[in-house]
Amino acid sequence: MHKIYFIIVISFISLTTYSQTIDSTQIGKEYPYVLPILGKKAYAKGYELQKPFGVMLGSLFNKQGIVIDNFEMAISDDQTPPTNYFKLDGILDFGPSEGRINTVNARIDAWILPFFSVGGYYGEVWGEQDITFSVVGSDLIKSTTDIRGKYYGLNLLGVAPLGPVNIAADYSWSWTTNARLDKPVLVNVSGIRVIRRIMTPTKGRFWAIWGGAQFQKLDSQTSGNIAFDEALGITEEDKQNLDNHWNDFKNGDVPNGNGDYWSDLSPAEKIRATATYNLVRGVVDKNVYYKFNKRLEHEWNMLLGFNYQHNNKWQFRGEYGFLKSKQQLMLALNYRFGL
């Protein structure tokens, strides 16, 4: 894969359904499906239960900032992971980073209880990520890298009807995979929505609108391996600029990222700085193993969404998430059926 960097993908789990509501005209009728458990009792008491099984096709656009720190690196001539890593804080430092991804996914869900649903999903993701970094206090270098991978996960959803509105809360576990990563990246997503249903003159056809909030949490550490030039997309001009800055630093003309000049360093610090520069500059044809911590710039965001039910089988929905620089847009088509 060309220029794939540290893959950090936030998968967004769409709301499985709008609600379960009360319809007094159903009292006395027999519920025809095997799920949900207690469905027959809820149906007999007047609760309008949508068809228990669903298949959804969806897409998502997501843009958000990512913070990278505590970067450690090692090199190896073979495929054996090294045991000793160099800590590069203050030497290789990361600035603002931003990921922009697109996904397509398919999911299935089932109402296990009248107000509790379980779903599973699988999808593919692609896009790009802007990374900025500096070496020993140089100007920030910007690298744009491709993102491509797959993800899968599990979603739980609970809905509580409260008079004219419904409260929906969901929690998801999502794992994103990529050939460059040692293990899938875990993302935890939780959200809460307040839903209002708007009926139309046509029976079974209505709109639902909602507002809410969402929280996303990344697994803190990522590790993997990649060729250094491939990872960062460093050009020959970038390499020359790094060489010029290093020479200026050693000649005492410019300070490093900590404000120290070459003459301010102890003999041990000079050896460490030289070894680190040689490591960064000389690993083009070797495997680079890395570990780093990452987090989202904004873990919370607001939500606004809608659902249109054309009949008891087909639904279409969209949702927009936002907070400062963080934006996400989801569109999905849902088909429901009973067994």
Helix, strand, or coil here: 44?
helix
pLDDT at 73 over 80: no
Report the percent of the chain where pLDDT is more than 90: 32
- In angstroms, what CA-CA distances link 176 with 148, 152, 187? 10, 7, 8
The amino acid that residue 251 corresponds to is N
Q: Which of 48-57, 249-258, 309-318 has the lowest mean pLDDT?
A: 249-258
Convert the pLDDT of each residue in 182-202 to its tens digit.
778 888 999 999 999 998 998
Count of H-run helices and E-run strands, the chain: 4, 16
pLDDT at 293 over 90: no
Q: Per the structure block, which two tokens stand in for 230?
A: 């491939």
Q: Residue 10: pLDDT band by 50, 70, 90 thresholds?
A: very low
Phi and psi at 305, nearest 5°, equal: -150, 170
Note the pLDDT of residue 22: 40
Domain spans in the chain, listed from the N-terminal domain onward: 21-337
Note the pLDDT of residue 194: 96
Tell me which CATH code domain 21-337 carries: 2.40.128
Phi and psi at 109, nearest 5°, equal: -145, 160
CA count, 13 A, side-chain hemisphere, 192? 4
Note the pLDDT of residue 228: 60
Which residues are paired to 30 by β-bridges?
none
Ranked by mean pLDDT, the top range of 69-78, 162-171, 252-261 is 162-171
Q: How far is residue 172's CA from residue 121's CA, in Å, rounded to a whole number?
A: 10
Distance of CA 287 to the CA centre of its chain: 27
What is the pLDDT of the chain when averaged over all its residues? 81
Convert the pLDDT of each residue in 16-35 to its tens digit.
444 444 433 344 467 889 99
Asked whether 52 and 338 are in contact (CB, 8 A), the reply is: yes
